[in-house]
Amino acid sequence: MKMVTAENVCYTYWKTVEQADGTSAQKEVNALCGVSLSIEKGSFTAILGHNGSGKSTFAKQINALLIPTEGTIWVDGMCTSEAGMLWEIRKKAGMVFQNPDNQLVATVVEEDVAFGPENLGMPPADIRKTVEDSLLRVGMTEYAKAAPSHLSGGQKQRIAIAGILAMKPDCIVLDEPTAMLDPGGRKEVMETLHRLNKQEGITIVLITHYMEEAVQADQVFVMDDGKLVLSGMPKEVFSQVKRLKGYGLDVPQVTELADALRQEGVDLPADILTVEEMVGALCRLQSTI
């Protein structure tokens, strides 16, 4: 079953640019060019790309914050271009942004999580239960009465995720949610996302530039200059070290090391992604010497 299907999606907008003579002019920007892909229900998908590659623009298409200039996106069978489906689509696919401070609207955690259900007209008794359940699911129950301003970055992002969970989505789209967090905060958020995915079957679409986050995904899409240029399982994508670097992307350090050793004649697999896999490969190699 498909949660997201994109067919030949293009997105064009105009921006003002300063010219050499000091005047301004309008320039057409093709942010997406013929993107076609599908995301299975219950999967964990990572979308990679350097700044300006179109990955964040595509993420906003899933939540219907942006509508394709050409082509079509379906979210659980609903076309994002149909105005009458807008709110159903946004209930189906929640959006979490890079800076949690831009998504937190109340001065108390539980009030912030309740904001979405209240706007949906949910009965007060149901809102209370939903808020408690959502905070439990992200491990933030003890902070229900706290002020978001007193929380760490990772805790704030988990509260933002709880606010989306309170809307009962089947899919969560996250646009670089760990970019502003320290390593501890990134770990908190990623553990939360994987738990929601594995234990509750929520479809996760993660926009990220951290390779170690993408390695844990079920599938990876790579974007460059508004186009989808590479896709597959993590081992398939990250084994193409030279090609990824050509798109301005890094690869996991251990994968890069394995690639360098292969170039020196060491017989190692092309799809090493973790330290454990590297150790295992080296041990097997040693046993044959």
pTM greater than 0.85:
yes
Residue 170 corresponds to which tokens in the numbers above?
Answer: 């089947």
Phi, psi of 20 (to 5 degrees): -60, -30
pLDDT of residue 221: 97
Return the CATH superfamily for domain 41-68+76-234.
P-loop containing nucleotide triphosphate hydrolases (3.40.50.300)
Would you list the DSSP string of 93-143? EEEE-S-GGGT--SSSHHHHHHHHHHHTT--HHHHHHHHHHHHHHTT-GGG
Q: What is the pLDDT of residues 73-130, one digit of tens each?
A: 999 999 999 989 998 998 899 999 988 888 888 899 999 999 988 888 889 889 999 9
Place of tokens 């831009």: 102
Distance CA 214, CA 26 (A): 36
Q: Extract the runs of DSSP E, i.e. beta strands, from 114-250.
A: 171-175, 203-207, 219-224, 227-232
Higher pLDDT, 204 or 125: 204
Distance CA 32, CA 70 (A): 10
Q: What is the pLDDT of residues 248-287, one digit of tens each?
A: 998 888 888 888 888 888 888 878 888 888 888 778 877 6
pLDDT of residue 100: 86
pLDDT of residue 273: 84
Q: What would the mean pLDDT of 223-245 be, rounded to a whole number?
A: 93
Q: Are 188 and 155 in contact (CB under 8 A)?
A: yes
Q: What is the pLDDT of residues 146-201, one digit of tens each?
A: 999 999 999 999 999 999 999 899 999 999 998 888 889 889 999 999 999 999 99
pLDDT of residue 196: 93
Q: Is residue 288 pLDDT above 80, yes or no?
A: no
Distance CA 36, CA 44 (A): 18
pLDDT of residue 289: 58
Task: Using pLDDT thresholds of 50, 70 and 90, give the confidence band for residue 45.
Answer: very high
Q: What would the mean pLDDT of 54-83 be, rounded to a whole number?
A: 95
Domain ranges, ordered by start, for the chain: 41-68+76-234
pLDDT of residue 265: 82
pLDDT of residue 246: 92
pLDDT of residue 165: 92
Q: What would the mean pLDDT of 57-69 be, rounded to a whole number?
A: 95
